[in-house]
Amino acid sequence: MQTIDKIKPCFPLFQEPEYKELMASKRANFEEMPSKEKVAETFAWTTTLEYQELNFKREALSINPAKVCQPLGGALCGLGFEKTMVYIHGSQGCVAYFRTFFNRHFKEPIAFIADSMTEDAAVFGGQKNVHEGLQNATKLYDAKMIAVCTTCIAEVIGDDLGAFIGNARKEGYLDKDFPVPYANTPSFVGSHITGWDNMWEGIAKYFTSMEGKSVGSNGKINIVPGFETYLGNYRVIKRILNEMGVEYSMLCDPSEVLDTPATGEYNMYAGGTTIDEMKDAPNAITTLFMQPTTLEKSRKYVEGVWNHEAPKINPPMGVEWTDEFLMKISELTGKAIPESLNIERGRLIDMMTDSHAWLHGKKMAVFGDPDFLLGLVKFMMELGIEPTHIVCTNSNKRWEKAMKKLLESSPYGVHGKTYGGADLWHLRSLCFTDKPDFVIGSSYGKTIQRDTLHKGPEFEVPLIRLGFPIFDRHHLHRMTTLGYEGAMYILTTLTNAVLERLDEQTKYMGDTDYNFDVVR
């Protein structure tokens, strides 16, 4: 029962004896749940190697996959362009989910619209929805561009999106010149990162041709970020290029619209790549893709149509790959790497020397998107951390090869094993049978922490939150993981996670507190 001086929400309210009794009596009298012993025994079995073997035999069932579907990625891509309304052709429920997913991660309003296909559209096709939808959307949202991608209903029934949009123009639902780039983003192919790639290709296709263009003529470097949810990463790349005095085009930049100030007014749009910038993009010196293994379609378009060499670079994460990135920019533009970046690098190395003793030899499992994992593993090994289980649900062959090569390049990679296509239930097994010190990944890793702790405190694998989505900690999406600055954030996060953990284990008076040090 509540008291006025201390009103208790769910925790700790349900720790009160009357609620514990309520739950126990519900279980005993009405639920017919298995006995405590049976549950304990079965739980113990799920932590065994035997269970792991069964678990890895799965072919049809996916449990807690660390990926979501294409249109979510397509939507993030559209969001990165100036005054662009993301429009999703298909069921409205999907769009509610995409918005919610981003709301929870960014803690920001997310404006996407759907054309709400229902049963009749599933039978007759979604052309009517596209026509009416585009008409309403252009009237209501004061957009400069509407970026269209699809959900699986439209894909399964085979809607011809290009024709529908063309007809909308012909029949007057849409102004002849109003820009509506589009992409097919079937949820049953690839994952959110594929959707980003498709939408970007769609936008590039829509706005760019080589007519009157000449590679290198605008003197800029194009940056294609890919499915990037760390807002600091957009900012740090721009800062690096500014400091180098390099002209650039960030081709997709949602860092403003996903971080608008609270002023008393809600603005649906902010910042973003302009259409003019996109149109001018083929004139750049070249295009750099920040996510090397997962932007194949976009790369093909840039190489094939824009005739850009688009040099293959590693994601600029950690020390050496950021070095490489800067040298590549320098090589491409002839601009020197300025002292300011040299100082920044020096500061990072200084931090690494300060913290190495807490990180060296630590074993960490990781999960997340493919290119993020590449960069993270690279930097972990630079820190002397040994990556163990590397789980990538939305992996691909290129990535698997690249990761293998990366692990072989360092003595710290010997324990690293990649699990392409695996999910977090596989990782749960691995965390029991070959326990890492930590697991790094999205908020969804927290059930692994809970499950391992349930076996006993000595089995707990604490989660370090790096990746997407992060729903249960605030504002981490504003951080940076790329460049030296990003390495500083990752280093700080990892080191302090290790120290927090040590405090947790050593805080017991007269027992372990000899190591509960005030200086570390």
What's the token pair of residue 178? 């109003």
Closest by CA to 348, choosing from 374, 326, 370, is 326
The SS3 call for residue 228 is: coil
CA distance 206 to 323: 35
Site for other proteins in 398-427 (CB under 8 A): 425
Site for other proteins in 56-115 (CB under 8 A): 57-65, 67-69, 71-72, 87, 90-94, 96-101, 103-104, 107-115
CA distance 412 to 386: 5
How big is the site for other proteins, counted in residues (CB under 8 A)?
Answer: 108
Closest by CA to 470, choosing from 491, 444, 496, 449, is 444
Could you tell me the smallest distance in angstroms from the CB atom of residue 403 to other proteins? Answer: 22
Q: Are β-strands 438-441 and 84-89 bridged in parallel, bridged antiparallel, or unpaired?
A: unpaired
Site for other proteins in 320-349 (CB under 8 A): none
**Among the residue ranges 255-263, 322-330, 338-346, 493-501, the one whose residues contact other proteins (CB under 8 A):** 255-263
Site for other proteins in 107-166 (CB under 8 A): 107-119, 121-122, 128-130, 132-137, 139-140, 151-153, 156-157
130, 152, 439, 498: which one is catalytic?
A: 152
Residue 150 or 314 having the CB closest to other proteins: 150
Could you tell me the smallest distance in angstroms from the CB atom of residue 189 to other proteins? Answer: 6
Q: What burial class does residue 266 get, using C-beta atoms within 10 Å of its C-beta: 0-12 exposed, 13-18 middle, 19+ buried?
A: exposed
- Radius of gyration (C-alpha) of the chain in whole angstroms: 25
What separation in angstroms does the CA of 85 have from each of 33, 75, 183, 352?
Answer: 49, 9, 14, 43
Site for other proteins in 421-480 (CB under 8 A): 425, 428, 444, 447, 450-451, 454, 471
* Per-residue contact flags (x/-) with other proteins for residues 265 to 284, judged by CB under 8 A: xxx-----------------
Q: Is 264 in the site for other proteins (CB under 8 A)?
A: yes
Respond yes or no: is residue 68 known to be catalytic: no
Residue 92 or 506 having the CB closest to other proteins: 92
Could you tell me the smallest distance in angstroms from the CB atom of residue 270 to other proteins? Answer: 11
DSSP state of 28: I
DSSP state of 475: S
Could you tell me the smallest distance in angstroms from the CB atom of residue 200 to other proteins? Answer: 19
Q: Which amino acid is at 416?
A: G
Q: Is 9 in the site for other proteins (CB under 8 A)?
A: yes
What's the token pair of residue 18? 């009357």
Q: Which amino acid is at 233?
A: N
Could you tell me the smallest distance in angstroms from the CB atom of residue 332 to other proteins? Answer: 38
Q: Is 506 in the site for other proteins (CB under 8 A)?
A: no
Q: What burial class does residue 279 get, using C-beta atoms within 10 Å of its C-beta: 0-12 exposed, 13-18 middle, 19+ buried?
A: middle
Could you tell me the smallest distance in angstroms from the CB atom of residue 92 to other proteins? Answer: 6
Respond yes or no: is residue 252 known to be catalytic: no
Q: Which residues are catalytic?
A: 152, 156
